[in-house]
């Protein structure tokens, strides 16, 4: 029977049905196949309990803030500031690309938004100044995954709601890993710049530092308002997300890049993205409820004990599974399907839930730049016109560095836990 369920799920998937309906349909069939059909009557209650979480209210608000910021002319101000800071270094525009991603991460929290914005603005500038289109596209895709790691982050909110973990602690925990990743990518770009003799930005083309900094202040104030308000207890993440929307509107009007049409389009996109994420949560929660009925986490725990896996070994095994899942599944789908099954065993072994959340979310973000389904690769390839598989080959060195940073995070939990502990925030 379960084989028939798997075949039916594959048929749903290859028919072009949306992934949420594939998961939901497979879940209902699996309830019947495992003789748990009697529990379908209470399934709506179980599903609603998964989305009736206050922290999830922050997600559509941060999505809206990111959409407004992406359309509000903020990207140009951040690029100019990055150029004023690092443009004179050899390979300067590569460094600008990465540094802009760091600044943009503190505003949008979305890798795909970052990839789309920089593909439209910075990649043409890089090619005009002597970089190959493939390299400019590859570094844009690679640096875009800083977005969901540095707060505010939509996927960290999702993980926090899923596992009942403090979103504030997760936001603080993402800062150092995001900066470590940015530093690692800067080193890779410096190596390429020396080897390929990438150009510096000419002094005549450099924006003046002080006027550029002053012009960028409204954009730079946004992450400070969001994170500062949360960390110092002035606002909950949901309240900070609402403030971020108003701040994004104000910044967009300041930069004169936000029209009424842009606001309406941002609202439309927010409704679509939020709806798609929530329906995925609903579908995955049905499958997760079946997993708990079948005691799958307990079976995994027993297997781990039989194999003698300690916390480190189990974390490594988990991360291999998540790396593979990230290559073919959207991040919300992978989190909703795998975290309820695999995370409880790690927590039972004493792994800090905040550290676990950062590691798993970082892991899945690598999937955004990994074939065959890398979301950021698809966006950058579409915008720049680079062949998808050529871009996938070019991004491999960056992906290897990202995996090395992931291994460092697993090995040294203090990288993600130092800031939450410094502010007196525990794991739960």
Q: What is the pLDDT of residue 416?
A: 93
Q: What is the pLDDT of residue 129?
A: 79
Q: What is the pLDDT of residue 406?
A: 95
* pLDDT, one tens digit for every residue, the chain (428 residues): 456 666 776 777 677 777 778 777 878 888 888 787 887 888 888 778 777 777 778 888 888 887 787 777 777 777 788 878 877 788 888 888 898 888 877 766 678 777 877 887 788 888 887 889 999 999 999 999 998 898 888 888 888 888 888 888 998 999 999 999 999 999 999 999 988 888 777 776 677 888 888 888 877 777 777 778 877 778 888 888 888 888 888 888 877 777 888 889 889 988 887 887 788 778 777 777 777 777 766 677 677 777 777 888 888 888 888 888 888 777 887 888 788 888 888 888 888 999 999 999 999 999 889 887 778 888 888 888 899 889 999 999 999 999 999 999 999 999 999 999 988 876 54
Q: What is the pLDDT of residue 22?
A: 79
Q: Which residues contact 358 (CB under 8 A, 6 or more apart)?
A: 149, 156, 170, 173, 174, 177, 409, 416
CA distance 203 to 200: 9
**131, 94 contact by CB (below 8 A):** yes
With b meaning 16 or more CB within 10 Å and e meaning fewer, what string describes 177-192?
A: bbbbbbebbbebbbeb
CA distance 170 to 352: 11
Cis peptide before 238 (omega within 30 of 0): no
**DSSP annotation string for 357-422:** HHHHHHHHHHGGGSTTT-HHHHHHHHHH---HHHHHHHTHHHHHHHHHHHHHHHH-THHHHHHHHH
**DSSP annotation string for 25-82:** HHHHHHHHHTT-GGGGGGHHHHHHHHH--GGGGHHHHHHHHHHHHHHTTHHHHHHHHH
State in Å, rounded, how far the first CA of the chain is from the last one: 39
Q: What is the pLDDT of residue 71?
A: 77
Q: What is the pLDDT of residue 189?
A: 92
CA-based diameter of the chain, in Å?
73
CA distance 37 to 146: 43
> Of the candidates 338, 340, 348, which has an alpha carbon nearest to the alpha carbon of residue 311?
348
CA distance 70 to 153: 15
Q: What is the pLDDT of residue 24?
A: 79
């Amino acid at each position: 029977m379960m084989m028939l369920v798997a075949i039916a799920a594959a048929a749903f998937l290859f028919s072009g049905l949306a992934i949420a309906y594939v998961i939901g349909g497979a879940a209902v069939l699996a309830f019947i196949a495992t003789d748990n059909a009697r529990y379908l009557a209470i399934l709506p209650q179980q599903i609603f309990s998964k989305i009736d979480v206050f922290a999830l209210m922050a997600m559509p608000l941060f999505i809206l803030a990111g959409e407004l910021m992406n359309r509000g002319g903020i990207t140009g101000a951040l690029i100019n500031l990055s150029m004023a800071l690092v443009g004179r270094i050899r390979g300067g525009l590569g460094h600008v690309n990465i540094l802009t991603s760091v600044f943009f991460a503190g505003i949008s929290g979305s890798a795909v938004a970052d990839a789309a914005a920089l593909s439209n603005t910075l990649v043409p500038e890089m090619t005009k100044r002597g970089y190959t289109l493939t390299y400019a596209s590859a570094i844009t895709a690679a640096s875009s995954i800083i977005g969901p790691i540095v707060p505010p982050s939509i996927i960290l909110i999702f993980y926090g709601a899923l596992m009942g973990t403090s979103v504030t602690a997760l936001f603080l925990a993402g800062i150092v890993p995001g900066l470590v990743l940015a530093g690692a990518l800067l080193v890779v770009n410096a190596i390429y710049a020396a080897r390929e003799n990438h150009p510096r930005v000419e002094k005549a083309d450099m924006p003046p530092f002080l006027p550029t900094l002053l012009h960028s202040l409204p954009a730079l104030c946004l992450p400070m308002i969001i994170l500062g308000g949360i960390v110092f207890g002035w606002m909950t993440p949901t309240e900070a997300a609402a403030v971020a929307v108003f701040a994004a509107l104000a910044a967009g009007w300041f930069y004169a890049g936000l029209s009424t049409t842009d606001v309406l389009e941002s609202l439309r996109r927010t409704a679509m993205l939020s709806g798609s994420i929530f329906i995925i949560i609903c579908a995955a929660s049905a499958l997760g409820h079946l997993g708990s009925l079948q005691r799958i986490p307990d079976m995994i725990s027993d297997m781990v004990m039989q194999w003698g896996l300690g916390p480190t070994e189990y974390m490594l095994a988990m991360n291999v599974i998540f790396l593979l899942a990230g290559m073919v599944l959207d991040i919300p789908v992978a989190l909703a399907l795998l975290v309820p099954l695999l995370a409880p065993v790690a927590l039972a072994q004493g792994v800090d839930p905040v550290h676990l959340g950062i590691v798993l979310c970082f892991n899945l973000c690598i999937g955004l730049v990994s074939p065959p389904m890398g979301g950021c690769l698809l966006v950058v390839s579409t915008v720049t016109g680079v062949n998808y598989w050529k871009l996938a080959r070019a991004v491999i060195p960056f992906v290897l560095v990202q995996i090395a940073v992931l291994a460092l995070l697993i090995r040294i939990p203090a990288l993600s836990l130092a800031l939450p502990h410094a502010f007196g925030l525990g794991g739960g």
